[in-house]
Amino acid sequence: MSAFIEWLESLNKKDTKVRALLRRSLAFEPGMFPAAFPYVEPFVKVDGHTRDMHYLVAGLWASHWREERGDNVLSLGDAAARQKIASGSSSLESRFISLLDSDAGQLPHRLRQMVALLKDQPLDFGAMLEDLRNWDQSNKRTQNRWARDFYHALEPASSLPKSTSAKESQP
């Protein structure tokens, strides 16, 4: 568990209203709900995108919080694949792809929607924060990792055809 999520968990143990305030913060742009400041600002050391992502993840953590969370938390890609398999939803994949294609302005809205769809899946919010901090990288490292996690979970390696190298396929 990341230090930020541990911080939120410790605040929650002292006062459960923390979760309610952070859930409510999701109705605002990240970092724009003053009642959430006391719970996030002490942990955030920078402004801009990283600060916004701390607020977004704090709100998502609060909305998704479960008493029995365990240690078997999943990346967002793994969780989306498991939810697609469990629900049989044909639209989950297209929503997931839309999330991966989000720019910084669309990301909070689409991520809130996705996390709501994944209500039955145990998410790794610490990893999510780290991933979101790197969202705008030109190599799309986060988006590629989430896509890889999603499609690998949908199609286990044992069910895929074995790939052949160019040398093997030549006569």
Query: What is the torsion angle, in degrees rounded to the nearest 10, for the CA atoms of residue 32, residue 57, residue 93 and residue 27?
Result: -30
Which range of residues forms the domain containing residue 21? 3-154
Each residue's pLDDT, cut to its tens digit, for the chain (171 residues) gives 689 999 999 999 999 899 999 999 999 999 999 999 999 999 898 889 899 999 999 999 999 998 766 668 999 999 999 999 999 998 999 999 999 999 999 999 999 999 999 999 999 999 999 999 999 999 999 999 999 999 999 986 545 565 544 444 454
Instruction: Name the domain count of the chain.
Output: 1
- Report the greatest alpha carbon distance in the chain: 70
User: Within a domain: residue 160?
Assistant: no
Phi, psi of 27 (to 5 degrees): -75, -10
Angle, alpha carbons 50-51-56 (nearest 5°): 95
User: Within a domain: residue 129?
Assistant: yes
User: Within a domain: residue 148?
Assistant: yes
Nearest to 134 by CA among 123, 145, 124: 145
